[in-house]
Amino acid sequence: MITIEKIEDRDGRISFQDKETKAQYVRVIGGLGWPGIKPGFAVVIGEDFEEDPSLKIRHLRVFSEIEEENFERLFQKCLEARDRYQVEDYYGNTENKPMMEFLRDFNRELEDGVFQLSLGLAPFPEDLAYHAWVIRERIEQGEKSLYLPENSLLKGYLMELGKEQVQKANILDYPAVAGLGYVLSHIKTYPFVRPKPYRREHRQSSWRTI
């Protein structure tokens, strides 16, 4: 199973590395789709370190898929994935007030010293058609740049989503598509920009330095 560590180069820039394969990523982020008629669904994705010169984008790798009907188990598994994969942020629909209240209740019950599960606002969080389009951009033949794990649950959910469903369905009907779409839409809206190097002086780092 994949385990990601955060590393820092000699110029003080942070990246992420698979402990086993040593593959590197510029960022690791997650998406959370609220449960509706189907269980809630979270996705964790790593964005490749190097850009594909032919596509002018970085390939994306799905590290983890989490599907749970129970809110507490869903959030707890998101916390576990955050620690295992060094997830920087999760994105979702923070405008859904009842669902956010479940998250606040969960965070209030966490033990002292456990960092709360935070959720950032995804672009167009209620627009199923937009997120379906962003996903199609990444999986089209000839321009594929999204890679799912073997036995991925997402494959089946994406096959269910036809044009008619996209136009008529509520995004709460497709939590898996929402979770994936939230990550991809954030990456599309906020492309990664490599920070300028800076020299570290008189500072100790808890991350491994390469």
Least confident of 74-88, 129-143, 186-200: 186-200
104: alpha, beta or left? (left if phi > 0; alpha if psi -120 to 50): alpha
Per-residue pLDDT averaged across 51-78, rounded?
96
Helices (H), 41-114: 71-85, 97-108
Per-residue pLDDT averaged across 58-80, rounded?
97
**What is the rounded CA–CA span in Å between residue 72 and residue 48?**
31
Per-residue pLDDT averaged across 42-67, rounded?
96
Architecture field, domain 4-192: 2-Layer Sandwich (3.30)
Q: Would you state the pLDDT for residue 53?
A: 93
Per-residue pLDDT averaged across 167-174, rounded?
87
If one compares 146 and 113, the residue with the highest pLDDT of the two is 146
Q: Would you state the pLDDT for residue 128?
A: 93
The domain ranges of the chain are 4-192
Confidence of residue 113 (pLDDT cuts 50, 70, 90): confident
Q: What share of the chain is helix, strand, coil (3-state, %, to 5)?
A: 35, 25, 40
Q: Which two tokens stand for residue 19?
A: 């402990």
Q: What's the pTM?
A: 0.90
Average pLDDT, the chain: 91
Per-residue pLDDT of 26-36, as tens digits, reads 999 999 999 99
Q: Would you state the pLDDT for residue 202?
A: 44
**What is the rounded CA–CA span in Å between residue 105 and residue 202?**
41
Q: Which two tokens stand for residue 76?
A: 């707890």
